[in-house]
Structures are given as structure tokens and as C-alpha cells.
Amino acid sequence: MKHLTIAAVVLFPVLVLPLRQDSGAADALWALGLLLLAAYLLQALAALLHLPDALGWLAAGLLLGSTGMGILAPQSLPLLRVAQTTAMLLVGLQVGSNLGIPRGLAWRGCLTMLLITVAVAALTAGALMVFTRQPWWMALFLGSLASLWGPFVIPPRPGRRGILLLGAMGTGVGLLLLSFVVILLRERGVLAGAALPWMLRVWISLLGGAITGAVLRWLPALRTAALNTVLAGGLVAGTLVIHQLALLALPCGFGAGLVLARYHDGTASTRFVRRSASPFAFMLVFAFLGASIDLSILWPSSLEVWLVVLVLLTTTTVVRWTGTVVGAFRIMPECGRRWSLGWLLLPHGIFLYELVLQPQHNLPALLGSLHAGLLERVMLIHVLFGIVVLSIVAYSVDLRLHRRIPVPSGAALAAHGEEPQPS
């Protein structure tokens, strides 16, 4: 109900005012309110069908964006781009501040996650070279992108902080692997000269977020009820800096969240605001993602594109699930049923969307015109598969686990260093 209320508040001023062609702010408010309203209604429909909320949010964006009615284009309105960046920044902040280290996760678990991530990249690249006509460097590049995990897809919830940590660990290893591949291909003259600055911006985003979080953590205001104001101001300032320097919002927020997680403020209102903003931010991110993409670019696609997609989806899903199932007891000894860990870790796509498909980062341009279209089509399908298909599977597994295993009580969560949160 709170999402419907927020949408109505945003939409009401525009409903009572005439919409002029030169009124960019009114257009943005109208589009934002309409998007929130559609996202809430389709979220309710998804709940009735026992589907993840993210599918309803994504469907709302697809319905209103260029794929559907074409009445919403986030990239054409500056205020909508700011809202999208702020939402992604908040999602990264929420995920980073909710990481938890499961009891028993030792160096063997970290090594296992590293081996699984490297195996995904290597086997995917090998399969692409064997079964498709892609050159070795393109296969290696696609494999390194596919090795990124997905800690930003599932909103934080009680008892699932360990899943977020494992996804973050895998993404960290994948980023290191991607950096090595970018440097290698740049030295071979395959990628454009802007490849290294592009990769550097990714790490600057993460480091800049961590430094910002460290500064906020030590401000005297953090010990008072003014923390909400400080965090709100930090979000606005961070959004402006991200736009000016072409940084990535998710790593920025994630880095800040990792540092701020070490500080547990005692202000009940602050905790309430941060928890309440989380589902709203996730809703906006998925809805904006749906509104930003254009599925018409997939048609017509050559047989080569669909063959690359088939190989990519098959190898990444099978290798990642098999690796986590085989190494479940090394990764997280208290995970319960080992088969469930693999399914819960499979959803991905939000980070890949920001990394590859957002126009301001322009990653496909680094490959040249011959392979840019292939990268866009393959990664778009890969992102949608991770968000739609794999999220449904993980959601179904999660429901089965909650029927058999009760949600941890507040005392049990506190014993593991977690805060009880509303579902």
C-alpha cells in the first residue's frame, strides 16, 4: 500500500496542472508517478500468481517504455535519469550494508567461490570457441562478463545475508577477472583505447563509494538523529558526482554500504527509513530497467546470435549451479539442503545491465561496430534470463524452504549479527 501512496503523491500535482510541452519537470513527475503506479499494480498481480515482485516491476517498465506503449523514455528526461541513478545508488547501499558473514565461512569457502567463478568464465569461453564462430578474444570477453554474479537482484531479507555475501564475493572475483581480460585484450589491440579508462571507472566507483562511506561514518552527525538528513544529502551529492564523472551507481553505493555496515546506529527512525526505502529503490531500479531497454533490437537476429546465447546461458547456469551444489559445505556449512544454495545464487542481471547496457557507459563501442551489436543482443537476453527465469526458480525454492524452515526469530538473527527486517 505504501508504494501506491507514494505514486499517488508524486502523480497528484501533475494531474491537477496542465501538461505543457516545455515543462520537463512536469513530464518527469508524470512519468515517475505513472511508472510507480503501474509497478505497484503489476507487483500485486505477480503476488497473486505467486511470482517474484521483480517480475511485476520489470513488466511495468516494459509496458510503459519503448517496448510497449512508448510513453516513457528515462534517457530522454534528465530528472528521470537522476531518479534512476539515485535508486541504483540506494540499492547498492542497501546490499552492501546488509552483507553478513555466515558462521563457518573460512578460506576454503572463499577459494571455492573463486574457483567456481573462474570455471564459469573459462568453460563459457571454451564452449563459445568450440560451438560458435566467435574469435577467441570475443569468447574470452563474453565469458568474463558472464562470470559476474548477482547480489543486486534479490532484496535483502532476514536469514539471507549470507547469500548476498556469496554473490558479492563472486562478483568481486568476476570483476578482477574482467579487468585482467580487458587489459590483455587492450594490449593485443583488440579493444579500443578507451577500454582501460572504462575499467578504471568501475574500480574508482567502488573505491569512491567506500571512501564516502568512511567519511560519513566518522562524521559527528552520525551519532545523532541527523543521520537521515546526512544520508539523503549524500545520495543527492553522490548522484550528481556519478553523472559528472560517468561512474557506476551500484558499485558506489555498494562500497559505501560495506563501510557503513561496520557502524550500527542506535536511532530507530534511521533504521526504519533505511529499511523502508529498500523495496522502493528496488522497485524503481527494475521498473526503469524495463523502460530503458528496447526488445525490438532482438529482431531480426541471426542464428549466430541465438547460438551464442544458448551456449552462454547453458554453460553459466549449469557450471554455477553444479559448482555451488558440489562445494556447498565448503562455501556455507550451515546452508541446510545443498541443492538450495545453487538455485538461490543464480539470479543476476542488474549489475550487467548497468555495466553493459546503459548508454552513458558505452561498453559495446569498445568492441567496434562488427561485434557491438552482438554484445548488446547477447547481454540483453542474458540479463532478462537472469532476472525473469532464474528469479522465478530461486523464488520457488525460497518458498519451499520457508515452508519447511521457519523464519529466524529476532533473537536468532541478533545472535548472528543481523537485524530483524520486515519481509
pLDDT in tens, 102-121: 555 667 778 888 999 999 99
- H helices of 71-154, in order, are 78-97, 107-131, 136-146
User: Would 136 be classed as within a structural domain?
Assistant: yes
Residues 24 and 153 in one domain: no
Grid cell in block for residue 3: 508504494
**Residue 87 near residue 291, CB atoms below 8 Å:** no
The CATH number linked to 301 is: 1.20.1530
**For residue 312, is it within any domain?**
yes
Could you tell me if 364 and 251 lie in one domain? yes
Q: Considering 19, 53, 76, which residue would you say is the last residue of a domain?
A: 76
Whether 43 and 108 share a structural domain: no
362 in the same domain as 218:
yes
pTM: 0.84
Residue 22 falls inside a structural domain: yes
Angle between helices 78-97 and 268-292 (to 10 degrees): 130
**CA–CA distance, 84 with 243 (Å, rounded to integer):** 11
162: Cβ contacts below 8 Å, ≥ 6 apart? 100, 101, 102, 105, 332, 335
Do residues 360 and 279 both lie within one domain? yes
pLDDT at 21: 44
In a domain, 81, yes or no: no
Q: Residue 289: what pLDDT?
A: 92
Residues 104 and 156 in one domain: yes
Please indicate, yes or no, whether residues 204 and 63 belong to a single structural domain of this protein: no
Contact 354, 251 (CB under 8 A): no
* Domain boundary residue, one of 54, 76, 98: 76
In a domain, 209, yes or no: yes
Contacts of 100 (CB under 8 A, 6+ apart): 161, 162, 164, 165, 416, 417, 418
Measured distance CA(11)–CA(170) in Å, rounded? 40
Q: What DSSP state is assigned to residue 151?
A: T
421 domain residue, yes or no? no
DSSP-assigned states of every residue in 166-191: HHHHHHHHHHHHHHHHHHHHHHTT-S
CA distance linking residue 85 with residue 241, whole number of Å:
11
Q: Which long-range contacts (CB under 8 A, 24 or more apart) does 321-327 make?
A: 321/346, 323/112, 323/115, 323/116, 323/119, 323/120, 324/116, 327/109, 327/112, 327/115, 327/116
How much is the pLDDT for 269?
44
- Report whether the peptide linkage leading into residue 300 is cis, meaning its omega lies within 30 degrees of zero: yes
**Residues 191, 53 share a domain:** no
> Are 147 and 252 part of one and the same domain?
yes
Do 43 and 105 fall into the same domain? no
Domain count, the chain: 2
Q: Which of 10, 41, 76 is the last residue of a domain?
A: 76
What parts of the chain have a pLDDT lower than 50? Answer: 9-10, 12-22, 265-270, 272-273, 405-423
Percent of the chain with pLDDT over 90: 31
Would 173 be classed as within a structural domain?
yes
Check residue 131 and give its pLDDT. 92
Q: What is the pLDDT of residues 300-341, one digit of tens each?
A: 878 889 999 999 999 999 999 998 888 776 776 655 566 677
pLDDT of residue 408: 41
Domain boundaries, position 325: 88-415
